[in-house]
């Protein structure tokens, strides 16, 4: 087995000056934080479910920015290279291409649902910002979040899973709302999830209004954000062994460090 590279204290301290926590990883696995700090370049290529989500979000962004759904759907990926699609991670092009091809039929369903949704929604999308990244300096770290669509009072988030309104989604939206308020960018009053993985018979539920869940979401997010920041501080002090607990669960299958971990 390959030896795990351990960073010296001085190297870790220089990383300490540059911590970015993404809204979507708040409240995640503590051991994953350790791996991120100590083995940042050792991740496996993205998991299939993440690849198909990235593909769908890339197309949706194009459709919304270009207002040309048909053109995007007809020739969806001819200018997207695998490394770009996978965020520059992974060098096993055979596996990547296999996963890419496996993802295509799913993406087709997502985009058909997206087309149905955008043709029927009465929400005015014309002034909404698409895939806008925001960063907030908070308690010595940088919190980063990219919202699919938002304006001054609404956030719309697209999901490719089938499970609607789960705890993670509510927490994530609560985090976005809190972050935009802290940055003095927007005072969000309405949040909606659009679930693109639905089958035809479920299309009536594709858009779910989660506005009423916002106080619960914000509370969960802030509580878990403080725990995650504390986890990063603990992880800096570890040098040659894993002491952060494994959060064994279905997320291990998607984790970039699943090859390093007995968690799966
Ligand atoms: S494989 Fe599972 S336990 Fe290990 S770091 Fe990833 S999420 Fe955590």
- Please provide the DSSP assignment of 72-99 as one string: HHHS-STT--HHHHTTT----HHHHHHH
Span 129-139, pLDDT tens digits: 998 999 999 98
- Residue 99: inside a domain, yes or no? yes
Per the domain annotation, does 91 fall within a domain?
A: yes
Do 255 and 261 touch, CB atoms closer than 8 A?
A: yes
Residue 264 to residues 118, 134, 160, Cα–Cα distance (Å): 39, 33, 24
* pLDDT at residue 243 is higher than 80: no
The pLDDT confidence band at residue 177, using thresholds 50, 70 and 90, is very high
pTM here?
Answer: 0.82
Whether residue 88 is contained in a domain is answered as yes
What residue owns the CA closest to ligand 1's atom 2? 252
Please give the number of the atom of ligand 1 that sits closest to the Cα of 34. 5
Atom of ligand 1 nearest to the CA of 262: 4
Q: For 20-61, what is each residue's pLDDT tens digit?
A: 889 988 988 888 877 877 765 567 777 778 878 888 888 888
In which element (H, E) is residue 208 found?
strand 207-209
Give the DSSP H or E segment for 232: helix 214-236
The pocket around ligand 1, CB under 6 angstroms, is made up of 29, 31-32, 35, 246-248, 251-252, 255, 257-258, 261, 263-264
Domain that holds residue 110: 48-120
Smallest CA-to-CA distance from 159 within 174, 169, 146 is with: 169
* Domain-embedded: residue 107: yes
Let me know if residue 94 belongs to a domain: yes
What is the pLDDT at residue 198?
Answer: 74
For residue 3, name the pLDDT band (cuts at 50, 70, 90). very low
Q: For residue 37, what are its two tokens?
A: 């700090």
CA distance 113 to 199: 9
pLDDT at position 220 over 90: yes
For residue 126, give both structure tokens. Answer: 């014309």
Mutating to test ligand 1, I would choose from 31, 244, 256 the residue with most ligand atoms within 8 A of its C-beta, which is 31
Atom of ligand 1 nearest to the CA of 251: 7
The 10s digit of each residue's pLDDT in 61-116 is: 878 877 555 555 555 555 555 545 554 444 444 456 677 778 888 888 898 899 88
Whether 139 is covered by a domain: the verdict is no
Domain count of the fold of the chain: 1
Q: Which residues pair with 143 in a beta bridge?
A: 21, 136
Ligand 1, atom 5: closest residue by C-alpha: 32
Residue 58 lies in a domain: yes
Q: C-alpha angle with apex 252: 249 to 255, nearest 5 degrees?
A: 150
Residue 173 domain-assigned (yes or no) = no
8 or 116: which leads in pLDDT = 116
């Amino acid at each position: 087995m390959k030896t795990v590279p351990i960073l010296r204290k001085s190297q870790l301290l220089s990383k300490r000056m540059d911590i970015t926590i993404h809204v979507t990883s708040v409240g995640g696995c503590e051991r994953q934080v350790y791996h991120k700090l100590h083995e940042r370049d050792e991740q496996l290529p993205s998991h299939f479910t993440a690849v198909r989500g990235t593909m769908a979000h890339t197309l949706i962004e194009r459709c919304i920015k270009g207002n040309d759904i048909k053109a995007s759907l007809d020739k969806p990926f001819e200018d997207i290279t695998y490394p770009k699609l996978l965020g520059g991670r992974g060098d096993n092009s055979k596996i990547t291409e296999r996963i890419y091809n496996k993802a295509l039929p799913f993406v087709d369903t997502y985009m058909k649902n997206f087309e149905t949704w955008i043709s029927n929604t009465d929400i005015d999308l014309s002034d909404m910002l698409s895939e806008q990244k925001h960063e907030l300096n908070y308690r010595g770290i940088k919190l980063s979040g990219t919202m699919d669509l938002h304006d001054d009072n609404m956030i719309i988030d697209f999901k490719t899973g089938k499970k609607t309104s789960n705890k993670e989604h509510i927490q994530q939206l609560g985090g976005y709302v809190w972050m935009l308020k802290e940055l003095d960018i927007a005072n969000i009053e309405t949040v909606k999830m659009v679930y693109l993985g639905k089958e035809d018979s479920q299309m009536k539920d594709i858009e779910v209004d989660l506005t009423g869940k916002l106080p619960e979401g914000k509370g969960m997010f802030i509580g878990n954000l403080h725990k995650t920041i504390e986890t990063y501080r603990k992880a800096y002090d570890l040098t040659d062994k894993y002491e952060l607990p494994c959060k064994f669960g279905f997320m291990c299958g998607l984790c970039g460090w699943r090859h390093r971990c007995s968690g799966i």
